[in-house]
Structure 1
């Protein structure tokens, strides 16, 4: 009886070891395929997000990654420098009130072939609860703060947070060779953001957390030419949390337990206002009748 139990325990241990080995081999193969993956995109539109929102109305992180896979260049380009990366140096929320600025500083490491890239494309996938004003961004573009900028997704500025969808801001920044060669040089982008009306809560604040942006190095877009594709090198696809530290905006929101008091005060104020208007109208009519007595 004891020998049978011993053999069954050994068999279970052997099966567990075999499964773990298979998982290790498959994960190692996936990692190798990921390293050998060609991170080049061929974009026909002016913006990377343009064709994505042509067929979709909302933003999903997994759907966006699947969309990027469909934009891969058919002609495979050798990836000569595996250490071409961008360093997200600093990321912070500045300002006060419901109008803030998302400050992002990026440093580019040297490239072997720099001439084909002249744009750094930053895709900010904004969380629920905040939005960017397209008209404000157009004014900044006219003042040459950005080379190009556009907002995709939910651009209805009047909707509250619980009725709105996520929006995306795509920023194009012009770069040159000195941005690579200067070791201390950084590219800083300041994106103005606005808070939507937040849902009721218990703490009086709604916590909005920003993930890392998606970064691309792209060749310039050639306008007025059909079938002209520009190449974009994927530097990083941001996650839901940033490695440089959580960037959090605590937006004031109504407290759910205060709704009864607010309703009562609003009702009393409305009744008093209506009564005041009624009294004022009666007094004014009496004054007018005294000034103009009826002629017999």
Structure 2
């Protein structure tokens, strides 16, 4: 009886190991396939913004879901375009840093792009998708003013755009920036961007700071958007899909946060200030009533 039970347990363990190894192999194959796609193929979207197409199907930003979304947007037609001989030599984030002070900072990014052939290219727009970490947001109205000043050709914010929510009640947001490029940009291959960002109210932390980390942006080279044509698809070359952490140097922002150990002192001081204020208002009301009664007595 014991030997039969032992055999069944061993058989069950063998089956579980076989299933796990099969699933891991499938996952590894899918990951390699996706990497091959991102290095060789293009996507086709029907909307002006890439993230607009994503958020019509999803309610929040998730990195793995966004990656799967891009895989589903592969161009079905394999007909070569007039720019089929354009091959990206380099798509490199040369420099990336956070500048400024306080809760208002600027994310600086320098991008270098070079191509083998660039004459009469239909890909006239570089699209940068910044997936912001939790606790940081971009003001849509501020970005619109930058667009009016021709800093960007187009820009929009997707995801959680409620600027008043604290960090622990908000979701991630993403900024999609469009920059028009010309033959001169193809030759020089360097584009510099400055994205203004703001910090949300951070949760309590014993260190007094809450650290957020910025990953690399997603880079696409897209054809011009054809307005008033709903079924017209826009072709985009996938230059790079940003990772959660930069390979060369991670970009951090240490945002001030309340210290958990100070909550008791702050609560006690707030309660004392509220009681003192209420008592002062009561005394002032009583004194004003006495003054009014004295004036009425003298007049009578």
Judge same fold: TM > 0.5, yes or no. yes
C-alpha separation between the residues in 2 aligned to 1:120 and 1:108?
A: 10
Q: Indicate how the Cα distance of structure 1 residues 85 and 165 shifts in structure 2: closer, same or farther if over 3 A, else same.
A: same
Deviations for 1:176-210, whole angstroms, at most 9, x for unmatched residues? 0111212xx52111111000000001100000000
Residue of structure 1 in register with 2:201 after alignment: 197
Q: Indicate how the Cα distance of structure 1 residues 66 and 35 shifts in structure 2: closer, same or farther if over 3 A, else same.
A: closer
Alignment partner of 1:239 is 2:235: no
* Residue 295 of structure 1: how far off its partner (Å): 6.1
C-alpha separation between the residues in 2 aligned to 1:236 and 1:195?
A: 27
Q: Indicate how the Cα distance of structure 1 residues 136 and 259 shifts in structure 2: closer, same or farther if over 3 A, else same.
A: same
Residue of structure 2 in register with 1:134 after alignment: 140
Q: Indicate how the Cα distance of structure 1 residues 291 and 218 shifts in structure 2: closer, same or farther if over 3 A, else same.
A: same
Alignment partner of 1:276 is 2:280: yes
Find the residue that maps to 2:161 and give its secondary structure. Answer: coil
Task: Indicate conservation of the 8 Å contact 2:39/2:239, yes or no.
Answer: no
Q: Indicate how the Cα distance of structure 1 residues 162 and 72 shifts in structure 2: closer, same or farther if over 3 A, else same.
A: same
Aligned residues: 270
* Residue 293 of structure 1: how far off its partner (Å): 1.5
C-alpha separation between the residues in 2 aligned to 1:133 and 1:243?
A: 28
CA RMSD of aligned residues (A): 2.3
Find the residue that maps to 1:197 and give its secondary structure. Answer: coil
C-alpha separation between the residues in 2 aligned to 1:64 and 1:230?
A: 18
Superposition map of 1:1-296 within 5 A: 30=32, 34=36, 38-76=40-78, 80=85, 83-114=88-119, 115-182=121-188, 186-293=190-297
* Residue 290 of structure 1: how far off its partner (Å): 1.9
Task: Indicate conservation of the 8 Å contact 1:118/1:218, yes or no.
Answer: yes
* Residue 86 of structure 1: how far off its partner (Å): 1.1
Find the residue that maps to 2:235 and give its secondary structure. Answer: strand
TM-score when normalising by structure 1? 0.85
* Residue 85 of structure 1: how far off its partner (Å): 2.8
* Residue 171 of structure 1: how far off its partner (Å): 0.2
* Residue 96 of structure 1: how far off its partner (Å): 0.5
Runs of 4+ in 1 over 4 A off after TM superposition: 29-33, 77-83
C-alpha separation between the residues in 1 aligned to 2:59 and 2:196?
A: 23
C-alpha separation between the residues in 2 aligned to 1:54 and 1:200?
A: 34
Tell me, which stretches of 5 or more residues in structure 1 are unaligned? 1-18
C-alpha separation between the residues in 2 aligned to 1:76 and 1:88?
A: 30
151-160 or 35-44, which moves further after superposition? 35-44
